[in-house]
Structure 1
Amino acid sequence: MIEKRVGDTGRVLATDIDDSWAQEAASPTVQVIKHDVALNEPPDELFDLVHARLVLVHVPERARALRNMLSVLKPGGWLVIEDADPALQPLSCIDEFGSEQRLANKIRQGFRGLLSGRGADISFGRKLPRMFRDAGMVDISAEAYFPITMPECVPLEVATVNMIRSDLTENGIVTDTEIDQHLENVRRGVLDLSQPPMISVRGRKPGGH
């Protein structure tokens, strides 16, 4: 798919602080490198499109990361950033009518606290349009989206809770028994799970043709 979009002469550079998960995407037109978008020097080349998804919300030096991305954008090129805003809609179950929903929201609230404690800005997504304007971008547009009940929310919730399970218990947010009960509720399909709103912003660097 990427090869069809970039053509025979195009090139894609994918970067991450942990590049192991993306190495399988490497090809003659796709290069994958280990790179910190905020702390490392940006690549010594210019791109028509720079895209980041669910990155800057987790980067404490997010303003510097944005400057680095803009520095490698060609005049007339497009910057696309998609980031969550958990503070905009903080609930896992927006219809909290029973104990299962209250437990789900308790876990989500604890997760939000853990993110904040690690330097994440849980209200970052809403700031992106202003940051684009302050950076001098033009033709800016933005939209927000969050699912309320979708099949994909179930495996995502299970994977997320399992990933942070020890953090939740060690910080006294919930017990192992409560986590097991929540995961059972998720698998039984009794929860209308939502995910934090995703805000997508696009803007063009002035210049070019």
Structure 2
Amino acid sequence: MVTLGKDSGQTAPAPAPAPRERYGETLFVRDTPERRRLRLLAEVFDPLSVRTLEHVGVHPGTRCLEIGAGSGSLARWLCGRAAPAAVVATDLDISLLDTVREENLLPMVHDVTRDDFPAESFDLVHARFVLNHLPERDRVLERIVRWLRPGGVLVVESFSWFPLDSSPDARYRKAMLRWGDLVRDTIGTDSRWARNYPSALARHGLRDLGATTVAEHLRGGTALADFWQLTVDMSRHQLIDKGYLTPQEYEDFTALMRDPDFWDLAPALTQAWGRK
């Protein structure tokens, strides 16, 4: 890690090392805390995702692909809007989709970096918090575009890390940036790539582009703070054992996430869409 000053908590631009593992091996494992984290993710971010999906349009008969379906909350919403058409919901682990009882849901174990679909299979493809975790994200994006029929829409969503850089609270700033360094070094996550989503979609031939970025205020003790506390907590041992944070720095961050007097900006959510 290369830092800007002893206590700044900011990371200087540097080439990321080759990732040592893939998503889900030791980070983002589907254990009990991860299930709770995914429920919080749905509670906090589904309203923003639904607003964007409503904007691009999901109608009866829309053939949908939900990549990285997680807990299935958005797949359930798509099923209600797209019926009678099927909604294909994919993930590396689809165990959480067992609770989604929609008749038009087709859950599928699928690795978006390796497994294919026939060309022009879908009217709508949605991927939330997927591409930023994949070192081969640009190649995967090219493959996803092939799965869209002409006139079909791709909607992608990922975090943008820039609100953290200007945080006035060194404890919060350092813990979040160090966690970002850990997931970058471990699985190749790029938490700064999403701000260029529209350019990436244009490179792959999509048109009628649109994008929005939402930076919400995080207050300690709220669902948003709980989500980020759990997100960082799942990597607690790696953060401390590998020297990204000291035990005290980690405890300071945890205390902030529980303190209702703490306010700051959370990582922003960048959403972009385009039509084939």
TM-score higher than 0.5: yes
In 1, are the aligned partners of 2:119 and 2:146 still within 8 Å (CA)? no
Residue 163 of structure 1: how far off its partner (Å): 0.7
Query: Any idea what SS the aligned residue of 2:244 has?
Result: coil
- 1:152 is the counterpart of 2:223: yes
From 74, 77, 80, the equivalent of 1:4 is: 80
Percent identity among equivalent residues? 28
CA 1:164–1:36 in 2, change beyond 3 Å: closer, same or farther? same
> Where do 4+ consecutive residues of structure 1 move more than 3 Å?
none
From 66, 72, 89, the equivalent of 2:147 is: 72
Residue 201 of structure 1: how far off its partner (Å): 0.7
Q: 1:130 corresponds to which letter in structure 2?
A: S
Residue 73 of structure 1: how far off its partner (Å): 0.8
Residue 116 of structure 1: how far off its partner (Å): 2.0
CA distance in 1, matches of 2:127, 2:261: 34
Give the aligned partner of residue 177 of structure 2: 109
From 8, 16, 32, the equivalent of 2:91 is: 16
Give the aligned partner of residue 103 of structure 2: 28
Give the aligned partner of residue 189 of structure 1: 260
Q: TM-score, normalised by structure 2?
A: 0.66
Residue 74 of structure 1: how far off its partner (Å): 1.1
CA distance in 2, matches of 1:45, 1:28: 23
From 154, 163, 180, the equivalent of 2:251 is: 180
Give the aligned partner of residue 203 of structure 1: 274
Residue 4 of structure 1: how far off its partner (Å): 2.8
CA 1:137–1:2 in 2, change beyond 3 Å: closer, same or farther? closer
Give the aligned partner of residue 31 of structure 2: none
Residue 40 of structure 1: how far off its partner (Å): 1.6
Residue 142 of structure 1: how far off its partner (Å): 0.7
Q: 2:217 corresponds to which letter in structure 1?
A: I
CA 1:135–1:44 in 2, change beyond 3 Å: closer, same or farther? closer
**Deviation readout 1:28-65 (Å, 9 max, x if unpaired):** 21111111111222357611100001100001111221
Residue 200 of structure 1: how far off its partner (Å): 0.7
Q: How many residues matched?
A: 197
In 1, are the aligned partners of 2:216 and 2:265 still within 8 Å (CA)? yes
Q: TM-score, normalised by structure 1?
A: 0.85
Structure 2 stretches of 5 or more lacking a match?
1-76
Give the aligned partner of residue 124 of structure 2: 49
Q: 2:142 corresponds to which letter in structure 1?
A: R
Where relative contact order (Cα < 8 A, 6+ residues apart) is larger, the structure is 1
